[in-house]
Each structure stands twice: as structure tokens, then as C-alpha cells.
């Protein structure tokens, strides 16, 4: 009998400790106090990692186990480098001594322990967005705050980029293989999918490499990362009616031809579209806005759906090409699109100012409305779940959930399959809330973000019954309570989710001066005159 009470008793203890750990008088309107809570959530995860997983790339907070990703246990800095600019951003807001300690400790480790001369295959995309992006953003923040060694971060970024750059030189098309050995420079094909590379992966390197060209004056980084577009567009007729600017999620790197017809804005497709717009926002290259425009019109034409019974707008998938039936499945990953559409419409200006600019037209007004409607949909993916936390994937139109194993949302707009009920503390919805709040000033976006953060506080925050301390962890099932933890710490919880939540509750964020890479690492918008003087410009046309 005693054994059967362990689970319920644990759930009660966790709920009681959570209740007393949160001041119930705090509301979403208390921005400074909410920022403090978000900062504390970051430090809770960071200081637990510091105590029990320091220096390792992967960390399991429940069991306090860890490992590195490099050959023979060498570290890549996966958690430390990815988290560093979040600490800098939060420190800029609060001046916390605990954050300053974390910044300096991370810097010391990067200086003394981190070497990228590793005889290891690494994923080109993940290493670029997390490690190269993290180092470059740390360089930017340290130069602004005068905290940290900005030259150290830049030197490490150059060393890493030089090693990653070799991946672009080993195919006739210029499209890189999926992985590269950081010591030998040998590029390695994807081990599955017929050797095809993920289309989103090789088109989500350009912000980092172009920013590095600007910092160093070395145009090679710019040219290598940009060369992937010409074969992709020219060989496949991407601008034509066969594709309408929408890309299948796999491409053969040797030929540049697409593999299959699977089109989606979720995994392996998402950041292709993101980096078209963000290159324009970072470097003012109009070609990339024009390409983005074509893709967004294609999305509106082929991928938009409306849920029943409440009319939520979603972005579905075309598994077998544009002429196939729309699949109403949507990854949480797609929820970045609310913020992207809003930034594409306003270019970072508050909406009341953007509407007065010469560029404003009915197309941008359409994008703006869709941005708001779609962000509301993504909020509902939390609000209609008992824990207020979204699952990894939902399928819209709940009346189709004929399988009794599928869980139907509270208002019947979507259902969740058993395999998709996990919550990895992903950032995409709070990312869009952050953009929409700063572009509109509407308090509802802070309210929605506060509700989501409270969901993390109640269900992701776990207190050790045996042993001291509390941790945040992913969830195996975010629908049924008490929630079952999934023993892992995703670096994007620290690099993105908590960063975007904190930014949501900051004031005076100027989105015309900063661009976030797909891992939420911040780069300053680059000066057009300086780019021109350095000879850095678009080097191809479709």
C-alpha cells in the first residue's frame, strides 16, 4: 500500500512546494517582478548544471548524468556557449552578481578548456547556429556591456568558422554535406535519407557567416554561405508554379536537386524561410526580401488551413507536393511564423509607425493580420491543454480524432497523438509573443506569456524528494497530471525560451536594430554604407 502512494504523494509535495515558491500576488502587469522570476528560473537551471554537469555538452538533471559530444569525450561547449548571451542580456537588465559570476565562469572555461581542433564529426547546421552564433552574440554583447573578453569570443568564432567553412568546398554544387570533421575538414554525407541534406540546414548558416565577414573583413565566409542558393533556385525552378517558393525538406548536395516533395514549415523546412527574411533585415539585401515574399505568398496559397469548430488559422503540410491534400498536422516549431510574419510586415517598426511608411501596402497588412491570428493559434496550443504547456505536435480539426488513443483539446480544435505529447520547453510561441508585444504594445501578449511561464513553473519545475535542490526538465507527457518528467536539459531552454520570455517583459526593445538568429543569438543590424565599403554584397541572382 505504501508503495502505491509514492506517485500521488510526490505530486502533492511538488504542487505544494510550487505554490509556496510563487508569489500569487504577482501578475503579468508586474514586469520587473516577472523578469526576476524568469531570471531565477534561468539561474536555477544554470546553477544546477554548474554544480553537477559543468563543461559537458549534454546533461540530465534528474539523474545528474552527463556526457560530451566530441570524439573521446571532448566538449563542444553546447550548453555553456549557447547560454552565455542569455546571461549577458539578463545581466544588462538586472545587474545580478550571480549572472556576472556565470558570465565570467563561462568565459574562463571557453578560454582554458574549449578547443575546436577536434577529430569529430559535427552537424554543420547545429554547430553554426548554437556555437558560432553563440560566440558571435557573446562578442556583440561583451562589446556593448564591457563585460567579458570580446576578442576571445571573436577569435574562437573565427577558428570554428574556418573549420566549418571547409564543408562548402567539397561538392560541385557548393551545397555542403550535413556534417564536417573539425580536425580533418572532411565533409560527411547524411547517413540516412539517401545522403540528402536537410534543406533548412544548409540555408540556415548565412546570418552567422555574413556577420563574421562584416566583423573580420573576410568576404570568404559571406561568399561560401551564399553560394548554396543559386543551384537551389536555378536547378529546381523554385520561383515557378511547380513550387511557388516552397521547398521540399531534403536536397541532394552533389546535384542540388530536391529529394521528394514533402513541404512543411516544421522540422527541416522552417528556418529556410526564416533566414530569407532575416538576411534582408540584417544586411538590407533586397533580393532576400523578394524571395521571402514569394515563399510567403506560396504558403498562403497552399498551406493555410482553418480549424473547426473555432476557426483557428494553422499552417499545414503537403507531404506529396503542392497538388496533394493538406495535412492538418503542425509542429510546435512552426509557431516561430507569427513573429516572422510580423517582422516581415513591419521591418521591426511598431505597427503604428510601419503603417505610415511608403512600403506599407495591402500585402503587408495581410501578413500583419495573419501574424496576429497565427500567434493566437499557437497560444491556444497551450491554453487548451490542461497543464498550459503545448505538446510537440498537434493535428487540427478535433472531430477527426476517431482513434480513442488521441487526446482532443478542450475546445475541440485539435487533437494530440500519444507519441506527440512530450513538451521539450520549446521557444517558438514565446518568441512570437515577444515580437508581437513589442510591435503592438498590447498587454495580452504579456498575459499569454505569463500563463505559459506559470505552466513551466507548475509542471516543469521539479523538486528533488531525495536530495536538495530543484530543477527544470522536459516532460514526457504534458497533458495528463501529475506530469512525468523527461530527464534532459535542452540548451535552447536557456538560449531561447527563457531569453524570449525575459525580453517579452523588458521595455524599450528596438527591433529595428537587432536580428536574432534561429537559436535566439542576437546580432546588430549592419550598416549598409559599411557593407558597401567592404565590398560585401549579394553575389547571385535567381
Query: Which parts are annotated binding residues for Ca(2+)?
Result: 518
SS3 193: helix
Active site residue 126: yes
Taking CA atoms, 299 is separated from 228, 263, 293, 355, 504, in Å, by 22, 10, 10, 23, 27
**Cell output for 518:** 534561429
Q: Give the separation between CA 504 and CA 502, rounded to whole angstroms.
A: 5
| Residues 239, 286: Cα–Cα separation, whole Å | 16
Cα torsion for 308, 312, 316, 322, to the nearest 10°? 80
The dihedrals phi and psi of 309, each to the nearest 5 degrees, come to -95, -5
Alpha-carbon gap, residue 379 to 398, rounded angstroms: 17
Question: Where do the H-state alpha helices sit in 129-178?
Answer: 133-145, 150-165
The CB-side HSE value for 365 (13 A sphere, CA atoms) comes to: 8
Q: Residue 75: which of 130, 116, 127, 103 has the closest Cα?
A: 116
Catalytic residue, chosen from 392, 413, 431, 496, is: 392
Query: Cα–Cα distance between 51 and 223 in angstroms, integer?
Result: 42
- Among residues 428, 431, 496, 519, the one annotated as catalytic is 428
**Rounded Cα–Cα distance for residues 37 and 26 (Å):** 10
Q: What is the DSSP letter of 510?
A: -
Considering the candidates 57, 126, 367, 519, report the single residue annotated as catalytic: 126
4 secondary structure, DSSP code: G
Instruction: Quote the CA–CA distance of 388 and 384 in Å, as a whole number.
Output: 7
Contact present, 265 and 299 (Cβ < 8 Å): yes
Whether 166 and 185 have beta carbons less than 8 Å apart is answered as yes
Q: Is 40 a known active-site residue?
A: no
Closest CA to 168 of 215, 211, 201: 201
From the candidates 270, 317, 420, 431, give the one annotated as an active-site residue: 270
Backbone angles phi, psi at 353, to 5 degrees: -85, -40
Instruction: Please give the positions annotated as active site.
Output: 126, 270, 392, 428
Amino acid at each position: 500500500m505504501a508503495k502505491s502512494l509514492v506517485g500521488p504523494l510526490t505530486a502533492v509535495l511538488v504542487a505544494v512546494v510550487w505554490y509556496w515558491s510563487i508569489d500569487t500576488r504577482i501578475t503579468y502587469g508586474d514586469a520587473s517582478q516577472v523578469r526576476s522570476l524568469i531570471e531565477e528560473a534561468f539561474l536555477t537551471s544554470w546553477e544546477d548544471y554548474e554544480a553537477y554537469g559543468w563543461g559537458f555538452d549534454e546533461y540530465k538533471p534528474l539523474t545528474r548524468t552527463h556526457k560530451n559530444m566530441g570524439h573521446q569525450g571532448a566538449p563542444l561547449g553546447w550548453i555553456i556557449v549557447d547560454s552565455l548571451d542569455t546571461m549577458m542580456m539578463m545581466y544588462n537588465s538586472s545587474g545580478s552578481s550571480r549572472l556576472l559570476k556565470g558570465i565570467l565562469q563561462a568565459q574562463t572555461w571557453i578560454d582554458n578548456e574549449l578547443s575546436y581542433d577536434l577529430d569529430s564529426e559535427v552537424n554543420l547546421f547545429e554547430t553554426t547556429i548554437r556555437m558560432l552564433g553563440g560566440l558571435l552574440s557573446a562578442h556583440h554583447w561583451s562589446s556593448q556591456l564591457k563585460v567579458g573578453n570580446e576578442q576571445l569570443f571573436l577569435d574562437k568564432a573565427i577558428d570554428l568558422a574556418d573549420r566549418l567553412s571547409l564543408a562548402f568546398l567539397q561538392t560541385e554544387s557548393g551545397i555542403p554535406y550535413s556534417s564536417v570533421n573539425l580536425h580533418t575538414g572532411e565533409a560527411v554525407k547524411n547517413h540516412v535519407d539517401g545522403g540528402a541534406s536537410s534543406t533548412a540546414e544548409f540555408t540556415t548558416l548565412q546570418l552567422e557567416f555574413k556577420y563574421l565577414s562584416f566583423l573580420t573583413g573576410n568576404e570568404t565566409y559571406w561568399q561560401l554561405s551564399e553560394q548554396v542558393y543559386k543551384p537551389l533556385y536555378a536547378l529546381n525552378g523554385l520561383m515557378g508554379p511547380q513550387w511557388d517558393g516552397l521547398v521540399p525538406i531534403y536536397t541532394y548536395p552533389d546535384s542540388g536537386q530536391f529529394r521528394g516533395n514533402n513541404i512543411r514549415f516544421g522540422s527541416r523546412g522552417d528556418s529556410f524561410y526564416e533566414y530569407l527574411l532575416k538576411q534582408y533585415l540584417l544586411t538590407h539585401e533586397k533580393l532576400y526580401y523578394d524571395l521571402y515574399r514569394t515563399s510567403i505568398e506560396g504558403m498562403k496559397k497552399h498551406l493555410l488551413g482553418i480549424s473547426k469548430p473555432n476557426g483557428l488559422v494553422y499552417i499545414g503540410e503537403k507531404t506529396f507536393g503542392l497538388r496533394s491534400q493538406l495535412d492538418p498536422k503542425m509542429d510546435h516549431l512552426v509557431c516561430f511564423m507569427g513573429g516572422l510574419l510580423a517582422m516581415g510586415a513591419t521591418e521591426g517598426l511598431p505597427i503604428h509607425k510601419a503603417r505610415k511608411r511608403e512600403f506599407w501596402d495591402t500585402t503587408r497588412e495581410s501578413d500583419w493580420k495573419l501574424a496576429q491570428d497565427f500567434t493566437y493559434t499557437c497560444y491556444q496550443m497551450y491554453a487548451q491543454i490542461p497543464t498550459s504547456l503545448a505538446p510537440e505536435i498537434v493535428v487540427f480539426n478535433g472531430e477527426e480524432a476517431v482513434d480513442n488513443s488521441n487526446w482532443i483539446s478542450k475546445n475541440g480544435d485539435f487533437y494530440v497523438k500519444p507519441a506527440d505529447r512530450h513538451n521539450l520547453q520549446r521557444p517558438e510561441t514565446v518568441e512570437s509573443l515577444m515580437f508581437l508585444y513589442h510591435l503592438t504594445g498590447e498587454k495580452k501578449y504579456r498575459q499569454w506569456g505569463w500563463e505559459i511561464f506559470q505552466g513551466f513553473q507548475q509542471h516543469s519545475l521539479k523538486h528533488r524528494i531525495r536530495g536538495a535542490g530543484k530543477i527544470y526538465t522536459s516532460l514526457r507527457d504534458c497533458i495528463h497530471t501529475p506530469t512525468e518528467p523527461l530527464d534532459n536539459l535542452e540548451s535552447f531552454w536557456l538560449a531561447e525560451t527563457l531569453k524570449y520570455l525575459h525580453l517579452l517583459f523588458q521595455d524599450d526593445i528596438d527591433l529595428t536594430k537587432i536580428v536574432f538568429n534561429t537559436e535566439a543569438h542576437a546580432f546588430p543590424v549592419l550598416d549598409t554604407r559599411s557593407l558597401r565599403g567592404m565590398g560585401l554584397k549579394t553575389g547571385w541572382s535567381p
